[in-house]
């Protein structure tokens, strides 16, 4: 059942548990209530009631009041937008709407009056509402109704609803795919082995024109995927490689998306410390983002060929695990000396990138929770974007900006390459610790021909929110990069 819908009823006449309106600081102590379809009398009554309980209209403020007479909803929620002239990208609006919807657990139906009817405003309101209506309760045996996210959000617009309807449908599709990705990331690691992730990839595109091929451990052996096999060796649950192909008739461009799918990263023999190791269940966030993006892009029917690659393994220490010092032969034939088994993401990506380049796509983008160094450099909310091609990197950054995801360009300095030299093999899997995000990128670059446009996104921080929820972002899996990929695919079809 879709969560979002459109209504052209008058806001005051719309039935809902809560009517959400946006407010900004007005003159003196007044707040200004925005939104078309409310009469001046209704606006003034709502403003008075909100002010009387201390609402100021500042950004992110949420104020709930019993609905004044004449308003059909049970309560009215005033959402502060602050100074809208400072909200060029719309993130302030998205966060405000997102936290109002996220905070409305236990309610069945919300109605939102957007602050205005500009398409960009409707897009922001719709996606934020859809992303805010999320909670992960699959493993709670008796989740109370009061903890369930809202199941219906009606966006109230003036008639005719034509364009608004298309905007809301896109937000529903993209938001649903982000939820799918979040669920995969949040699923405990005992319930999500590599084979389960491969199955989830198949399930994600059921009924959509996407073909899915899965390599099991024998097929990986046959095809020479030594990186994926090496990482998977320590686990009793064998690795997989998944390829998802969406090739609509008439598509002229082709992009490949490659996502790191480590279902659990203990570090292997180079084992991680115990503190917060549970968060390494999220080490398949890149894979989950690729799967979610394939689901969204195919559902939207975008006129572009997209191939999704998911190399997936569980990185465990055991008597069969790979050792520091082992040398692997990757798909491309390049040999890698494994100096640290905890630098495993780049090993599985090496094989998948090697395969992806054989299809000669116009662009390859990989996405991975690749390095702790990413979080040191950019913090927990901003992804690092590296590339062998400045235009391609800008394309990804522009898509992220438009989608409202924080991503920042980072270099791939040539001077880091010698730090990856191995005495025994063609390359070692660890390089300079300083700039560790960059040396990981420099490693990956070795598996992509120089003339193949390629972008690498490190989402080690943004993929998983270990702190309190904020705006439309829940605790746990965030669905990072899905919206950027959809935007990227759309932009490609416009060029
Ligand atoms: N999955 C981790 C990176 C990571 C760390 C993601 C923290 C999210 C939060 C990755 O496999 C890893 O262990 N990287 C090592 C590389 C090092 C051994 C060169 C790291 O960053 O410490
Ligand atoms: Mn690791
Ligand atoms: Zn990892």
Query: Is the CB of residue 240 less than 8 Å from the CB of residue 287?
Result: no
- Mind listing the pLDDT tens digit for each residue in 269-326? 999 999 999 999 999 999 999 999 999 999 999 999 999 999 999 999 999 999 999 9
Mean pLDDT for 357-376 is 98
DSSP 373-398: HHHHHHTTT-EEEEES-HHHHHHHHH
Ligand 1 atom nearest 282 alpha carbon: 8
CA of 314 to the centre of ligand 2 (A): 10
Ligand 1 atom nearest 439 alpha carbon: 19
Ligand 1 atom nearest 270 alpha carbon: 18
Does residue 342 line the site of ligand 1, with CB under 6 A? yes
CA of 466, nearest ligand number:
1
* Domains of the chain with bracketed CATH: 4-156 (3.40.220.10), 179-494 (3.40.630.10)
Q: Look at residue 30 and tell me whether its pLDDT is greater than 90.
A: no
**Spatial distance between the Cα atoms of 111 and 346, rounded to a whole number of angstroms:** 46
Q: What percent of the chain has pLDDT over 90?
A: 97
**Spatial distance between the Cα atoms of 367 and 356, rounded to a whole number of angstroms:** 14
Does residue 340 line the site of ligand 1, with CB under 6 A? yes
**Spatial distance between the Cα atoms of 454 and 292, rounded to a whole number of angstroms:** 20
Helix (H) or strand (E) holding 258: strand 254-259
Q: Report how far apart, in Å, the C-alpha atoms of 87 and of each of 92, 254, 404, 472, 482 are.
A: 6, 34, 12, 16, 23
Q: Check if 148 is active-site.
A: no
CA of 266 to the centre of ligand 2 (A): 7
**Spatial distance between the Cα atoms of 279 and 461, rounded to a whole number of angstroms:** 11
Helices then strands, each counted (H, E), the chain: 13, 21
- Mind listing the pLDDT tens digit for each residue in 472-494? 999 999 999 999 999 999 999 87
Q: Check if 272 is active-site.
A: yes
CA of 439 to the centre of ligand 3 (A): 15
Q: Give the closest residue (by CA) to ligand 1 atom 13.
A: 342
Burial of 311 (0-12, 13-18, 19+ CB in 10 A): buried
Q: Name the nearest CA neighbour of 248 among 199, 178, 307, 289.
A: 307
Does residue 344 line the site of ligand 1, with CB under 6 A? yes
Which one of the listed residues 272, 323, 381, 417 is annotated catalytic? 272
Query: Is the CB of residue 37 less than 8 Å from the CB of residue 113?
Result: yes
CA of 282 to the centre of ligand 3 (A): 9
CA of 372 to the centre of ligand 2 (A): 9
Ligand 1 atom nearest 283 alpha carbon: 1
Out of 286, 317, 371, 433, give the residue to mutate to test ligand 1, the one with the largest number of ligand atoms within 8 Å of its CB: 371
CA of 371 to the centre of ligand 1 (A): 4
Q: Look at residue 495 and tell me whether its pLDDT is greater than 70.
A: no
Mean pLDDT for 151-179 is 97
- Mind listing the pLDDT tens digit for each residue in 69-103? 999 999 999 999 999 999 999 999 999 999 999 99
Does residue 460 line the site of ligand 1, with CB under 6 A? yes
Q: Look at residue 440 and tell me whether its pLDDT is greater than 90.
A: yes
CA of 42 to the centre of ligand 1 (A): 54
Residue 493: its pLDDT value, please? 86
Total count of residues recorded for the chain: 495
Which one of the listed residues 45, 281, 346, 393 is annotated catalytic? 346
User: Any idea what the Cα angle at residue 366 is, between residues 364 and 371, rounded to 5°?
Assistant: 150
Mean pLDDT for 211-223 is 99
- Residue carrying structure tokens 């398409």: 119
Q: Which residues surround ligand 3, an ion (CB under 5 A)?
A: 262, 265, 283, 345
**Spatial distance between the Cα atoms of 128 and 405, rounded to a whole number of angstroms:** 12
Does residue 371 line the site of ligand 1, with CB under 6 A? yes
Does residue 437 line the site of ligand 1, with CB under 6 A? no
- Mind listing the pLDDT tens digit for each residue in 177-198? 999 999 999 999 999 999 999 9
- Bridge partners, residue 242, by sequence: 214, 310
**CB-based contacts of 187, cutoff 8 Å, min separation 6:** 138, 281
Of 134-148, 322-336, 343-357, 403-417, least confident by mean pLDDT is 134-148
Q: Give the closest residue (by CA) to ligand 1 atom 6.
A: 460
Mean pLDDT for 119-139 is 97
Residue 381: its pLDDT value, please? 98
Does residue 61 line the site of ligand 1, with CB under 6 A? no
Residue 326: its pLDDT value, please? 99
Ligand 1 atom nearest 272 alpha carbon: 13
Name the token pair of 160. Answer: 């005719």
């Amino acid at each position: 059942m879709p969560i979002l819908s459109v209504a052209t009823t008058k806001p005051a006449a719309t039935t809902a548990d809560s009517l959400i309106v946006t407010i900004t600081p007005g003159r003196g102590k007044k707040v200004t209530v925005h939104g078309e379809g409310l009469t001046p009398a209704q606006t003034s009554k709502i403003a008075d009631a909100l002010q009387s309980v201390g609402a100021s209209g500042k950004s992110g403020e949420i104020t709930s009041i019993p609905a004044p007479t004449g308003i059909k909803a049970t309560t009215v929620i005033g959402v502060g937008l602050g100074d809208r002239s400072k909200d060029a990208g719309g993130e302030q609006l998205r966060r405000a709407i997102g936290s109002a919807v996220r905070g409305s657990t236990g309610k069945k139906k919300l109605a939102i009056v957007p602050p205005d009817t500009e398409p960009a405003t409707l897009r922001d309101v719709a996606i934020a509402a859809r992303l805010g209506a999320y909670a992960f309760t699959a493993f709670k045996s008796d989740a109370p109704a009061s903890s369930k996210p809202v199941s219906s959000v009606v966006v109230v617009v003036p008639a005719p609803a034509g364009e608004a309807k298309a905007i809301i449908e896109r937000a529903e599709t993209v938001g649903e795919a982000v939820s799918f990705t979040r669920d995969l990331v949040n699923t405990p690691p005992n319930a999500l082995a590599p084979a389960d992730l491969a199955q989830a990839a198949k399930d994600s595109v059921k009924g959509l024109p996407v073909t899915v091929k899965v390599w099991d451990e024998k097929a990986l052996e046959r095809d020479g995927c030594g990186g994926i096999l090496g990482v998977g060796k320590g686990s009793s649950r064998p690795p997989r490689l998944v390829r998802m192909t969406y090739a609509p008739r008439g598509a002229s461009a082709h992009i490949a998306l490659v996502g790191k799918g480590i279902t659990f990263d203990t570090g292997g023999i180079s084992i991680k410390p115990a503190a917060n190791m549970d968060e390494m269940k999220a080490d398949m966030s890149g894979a989950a983002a690729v799967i979610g993006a394939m689901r969204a892009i195919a559902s939207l029917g975008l006129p572009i060929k997209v191939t999704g690659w998911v190399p997936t393994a569980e990185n465990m220490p055991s008597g069969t695990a790979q050792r520091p010092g082992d040398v692997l032969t990757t798909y491309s034939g390049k040999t890698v000396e494994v100096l640290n088994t905890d630098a495993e993401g780049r090993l599985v990506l090496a094989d998948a990138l090697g395969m992806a380049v054989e299809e000669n796509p116009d662009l390859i983008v990989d996405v991975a929770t690749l390095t702790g160094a990413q979080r040191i450099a950019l913090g927990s909310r901003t992804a690092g974007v590296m590339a062998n091609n400045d235009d391609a990197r800008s394309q990804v950054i522009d898509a992220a900006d438009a989608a409202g995801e924080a991503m920042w360009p980072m270099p791939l300095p040539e001077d880091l390459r010698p730090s990856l030299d191995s005495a025994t093999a063609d390359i070692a899997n660890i390089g300079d610790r300083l700039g560790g995000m960059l040396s990981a990128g420099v490693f990956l670059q070795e598996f992509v021909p120089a003339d193949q446009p390629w972008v690498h996104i490190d989402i080690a921080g943004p993929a998983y929110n270990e702190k309190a929820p904020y705006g439309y972002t829940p605790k746990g899996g965030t669905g990072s990069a899905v919206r950027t990929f959809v935007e990227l695919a759309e932009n490609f079809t416009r060029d």
